[in-house]
């Protein structure tokens, strides 16, 4: 049976979310093809005679692109059973079924994909019998990456000295044990996470190193959900490949609670840690249930720097509770902590997304901020009580898109945002004395860590 797996977008990664199902489906006797729309177009030859087309939606942007692509997929593969799977599939089940999806899957999807193939073989493909969300423990296999574009075509690591490295992407866990109210993992995993055995992750990294990977980016929602597992993993990686470096995403709370691990991470090749700081306003952090404070942010940064590991914070700068004064406070905090070069400028334009099932909906005052669910946005629209804040968000977003396209430096973009923010408040614009002295850190060439509008180029892939 011919199965085509499609990835619309996943922050420049060679997708584990295609490679792992590909291994399961190949073992089940399927002829598996993969299309990554970040690098490839919907190929009529690949889609011809497909019995199953399964679209992977790991992110908000991926789902937006998938929605636009589905009509073209149905045109090119009219007889194929259409499945949509991944983190954002269950949250948008109703819309996806209206668009023609016959099977919608989330959580640990691999057994359900095999079940789908088996019931199609048996002639029973009309009604989904698999659970929409499966959180049962599964047997992880070594991902099959053979049908994906080569690693050198994906995001690369940019080094402060101008060098670059080819990047592989691995996952040590799925899900997350935390319940941050704004996180899209929570409506699907509800505080559970699954460990992928070290032997399996090592087999995956081994094949990527053989394919040219010089750096591994761990895609776990939080690398220290299982600290003992993470330690075994990085020690095994370093023992076999001492020259390979890596990065990971870790909560501020975990950086502090497991500070003793930071020297080990550094010794085993960790170059930088991405941390979802989200805000420097303790009031907003409490609403998001981040379990850290603004002071904790500074403490975690100091711990990382003491260990020789760079910290790359991400933010949700615009929320219903944001103020112009608070936004300027965020910019000042980045200056104070010497983080201008460490923050991708798009992070200073991110607007809070409230998807179906978000725990934000449980906040008593949230209904005063939001409108009816908007299927086009894949979320609940909201307005800030101060219209100037929403206008600033649009202005910053437009500025970042324009200046990044012009290859402006992060310090130059920050200076422009600094002026915009003060102008929005009607305040005098203080001179930026030290903003250009912020030290660059290692970074991936694809900086999009949060939801974003699909680009024209992305929408042209089909």
Kindly list the domain boundaries of the chain, sorted by start residue.
Answer: 2-134, 156-314, 316-445
Please state the separation of Cα 342 from the chain's center in Å.
18
pLDDT of 462 > 90? The answer is no
Mean pLDDT of the 399-409 span: 85
Cα separation of 378 and 355, whole Å?
Answer: 6
Mean pLDDT of the 369-386 span: 92
User: pLDDT band at 63, cuts 50/70/90?
Assistant: very high
pLDDT, tens only, 260-287: 999 999 999 999 999 999 999 999 999 9
What CATH fold (topology level) applies to the domain 2-134? Rossmann fold (3.40.50)
Q: Are 110 and 21 in contact (CB under 8 A)?
A: yes
452 vs 295: which has the higher pLDDT = 295
Cα separation of 157 and 163, whole Å?
Answer: 8
**What is the structure's pLDDT at 455?**
52
Is the domain covering 156-314 a CATH 3.20.20.70 domain?
Answer: yes
pLDDT of 374 > 50? The answer is yes
Cα separation of 176 and 192, whole Å?
Answer: 6
Arithmetic mean of pLDDT over the chain: 94
**What is the structure's pLDDT at 456?**
45
pLDDT of 453 > 70? The answer is no
Tokens describing residue 265 = 């991470």
Q: Are 352 and 385 in contact (CB under 8 A)?
A: no
pLDDT of 435 > 80? The answer is no
| Residue 390: exposure state from Cβ atoms within 10 A (0-12, 13-18, ≥19) | middle
**What is the structure's pLDDT at 454?**
52
pLDDT, tens only, 91-144: 999 999 999 999 999 999 999 999 999 999 999 877 899 999 999 999 999 999
**What is the structure's pLDDT at 434?**
66
Q: Are 446 and 12 in contact (CB under 8 A)?
A: yes
**What is the structure's pLDDT at 376?**
84
Provide the whole-model pTM.
Answer: 0.94
């Amino acid at each position: 049976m011919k199965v085509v797996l499609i990835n619309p977008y996943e922050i420049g990664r060679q997708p584990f979310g295609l490679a792992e199902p590909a291994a399961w489906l190949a073992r089940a006797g399927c002829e598996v093809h993969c299309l990554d729309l970040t690098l490839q177009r919907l190929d009529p030859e690949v889609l011809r005679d497909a019995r199953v087309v399964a679209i992977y939606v790991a992110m908000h942007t991926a789902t937006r692109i998938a929605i636009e692509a589905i009509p073209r997929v149905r045109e090119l593969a009219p007889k194929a059973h259409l499945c949509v799977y991944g983190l954002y599939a269950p949250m948008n089940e109703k819309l996806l079924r209206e668009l023609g999806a016959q099977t919608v899957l989330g959580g640990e999807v691999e057994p359900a994909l095999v079940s789908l193939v088996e019931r199609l073989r048996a002639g029973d493909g009309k009604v989904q019998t698999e659970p929409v969300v499966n959180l049962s423990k599964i047997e992880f296999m070594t991902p099959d990456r053979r049908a994906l574009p080569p690693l050198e075509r994906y995001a690369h690591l940019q080094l402060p000295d101008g060098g670059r490295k080819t990047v592989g992407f691995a996952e040590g866990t799925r899900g997350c044990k935390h319940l941050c109210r704004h996180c899209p993992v929570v409506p699907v995993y509800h505080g559970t996470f699954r460990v992928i055995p070290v032997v399996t992750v090592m087999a995956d990294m081994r094949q990527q190193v053989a394919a040219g990977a010089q750096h591994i980016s761990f895609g776990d929602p939080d690398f220290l959900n299982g600290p003992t597992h993470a330690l075994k993993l990085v020690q095994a990686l370093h023992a076999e490949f001492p020259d390979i470096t890596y990065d990971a995403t870790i909560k501020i709370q975990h950086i502090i609670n497991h500070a003793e691990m930071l020297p080990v991470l550094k010794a085993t090749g960790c170059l930088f840690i991405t941390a979802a700081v989200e805000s420097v306003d303790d009031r907003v952090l409490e609403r998001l249930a981040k379990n850290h404070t603004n002071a904790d942010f500074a403490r975690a940064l100091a711990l990382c720097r003491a260990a020789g590991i760079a910290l790359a914070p991400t933010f949700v700068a615009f929320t219903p509770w944001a103020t112009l004064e608070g936004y300027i406070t965020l910019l000042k905090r980045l200056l104070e902590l010497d983080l201008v070069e460490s923050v991708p400028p798009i992070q200073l334009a991110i607007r809070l997304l409230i998807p179906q099932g978000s725990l934000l909906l449980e906040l008593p005052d949230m209904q005063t901020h939001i409108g009816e669910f908007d299927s086009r946005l894949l979320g609940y629209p909201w307005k800030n009580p101060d219209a100037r804040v929403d206008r600033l968000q649009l202005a910053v977003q437009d500025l970042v898109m324009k200046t990044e396209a012009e290859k402006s430096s992060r310090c130059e973009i920050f200076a422009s945002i600094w002026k915009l923010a003060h102008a929005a408040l009607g305040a005098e614009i203080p001179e930026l004395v030290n903003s250009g002295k912020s030290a660059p850190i290692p970074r991936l060439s694809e900086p999009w860590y949060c939801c974003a509008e699909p680009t024209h180029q992305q929408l042209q892939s089909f």
